[in-house]
Structure 1
Amino acid sequence: MEDIRYKQRFDNFEKSFSLLKSGVEVRDATILEKAGVIQFFEMSFELAWKLMKDYLNFQGYDIKTPREAIKRSFELELIDDGKIWLEALTDRNLTVHTYDEAQAEEIYERIRDRYFPLLESLYETFKEKICTD
């Protein structure tokens, strides 16, 4: 594999995503398991937007922020639902800076039901890109 930054970033994203996937698959999760899912979501989301940024930079775009990465990735059809990605960004920012048990429970549910499929789709997109490059 060539020494291309987005490919290196994908390797890290893949590891974090794998941990998130394991957590999301737990049924009747305990409070600690839910906290772990939220933490793995934070890491996976951070690596996901940076993966998009690195890929877009490789393609010649000057991307600096998560919002820019999401919007441009949506425009270029790297991701499907820009609106939900932006909601995930908002929730990621909430989980990083505050802790409220009721809010954490709501975000856990959204991670499992809405955000995990987004990250999974991004994973599949880049897995295919990297295998065909």
Structure 2
Amino acid sequence: MDEMKDIRWKQRFENFEKSFKLLEKYSKETISTELERAGIIQFFETTFELAWKVLKDYLEAEGYPAKSPRESIKQAFQIDIIEDGHLWMEALSKRNLTTHTYDQELAEQLVIEIQNKFLPLLIKLYDKLVKER
């Protein structure tokens, strides 16, 4: 592993970890207000963005090229860093949707998906990468 690339993914992981811990903490709470929904969605957007970027940096350190979120997710799935590539792609799609659209019904549904589907993906990634540090 190139030492600079190795350091870069570890530094990015620290930022991912901070955001992930906040998302994990507040996702366990009952979310009932518009402000709480907006907060969880924002934590998800930030955490997911950092997740694919830490994947990208990790892959590059391992010698795999990955430039985009899709490429990073596909490559990470192929080499068993992540599981359930389809669900990761769904999370990417939802993250892209939330950054361009706001709708209360969509927000309520997304919070449920974050808590039940996407947070478990991020937990698995966190657990895997924390061992690699």
2:40 to 23, 37, 47: 37
2:8 to 5, 8, 15: 5
1:55 to 46, 58, 80: 58
2:93 to 90, 95, 99: 90
Percent identical residues:
52
Over residues 103-131 of structure 1, what are the superposed CA-to-partner deviations in whole Å (9 max), with x where a residue is unaligned?
A: 1111111101000000011000000111x
Segments of structure 2 that go 5 or more residues without pairing to the other structure are: none
Task: Kindly provide the amino acid, as one letter, of the partner of residue 62 in structure 2.
Answer: Q
1:65 to 68, 86, 97: 68
Q: 1:113 maps to which residue?
A: 116
The 1:74–1:102 alpha-carbon spacing in structure 2 relative to 1, beyond 3 Å, is same
Runs of 4+ residues over 3 Å off in structure 1:
none
Task: Tell me by how many angstroms 1:28 deviates.
Answer: 4.4
Give distance in 2, aligned partners of 1:111 and 1:58: 29
Give the TM-score of the pair, scaled to structure 1. 0.93
SS for the counterpart of 1:23 is: helix
The question of whether the paired residues in 1 share the 8 Å contact of 2:16 and 2:51 is answered with yes
Segments of structure 1 that go 5 or more residues without pairing to the other structure are: none
Q: Structure 1 residue 77 and structure 2 residue 93: aligned?
A: no
Give the TM-score of the pair, scaled to structure 2. 0.93
Task: Tell me by how many angstroms 1:22 deviates.
Answer: 1.5
The question of whether the paired residues in 1 share the 8 Å contact of 2:31 and 2:37 is answered with no
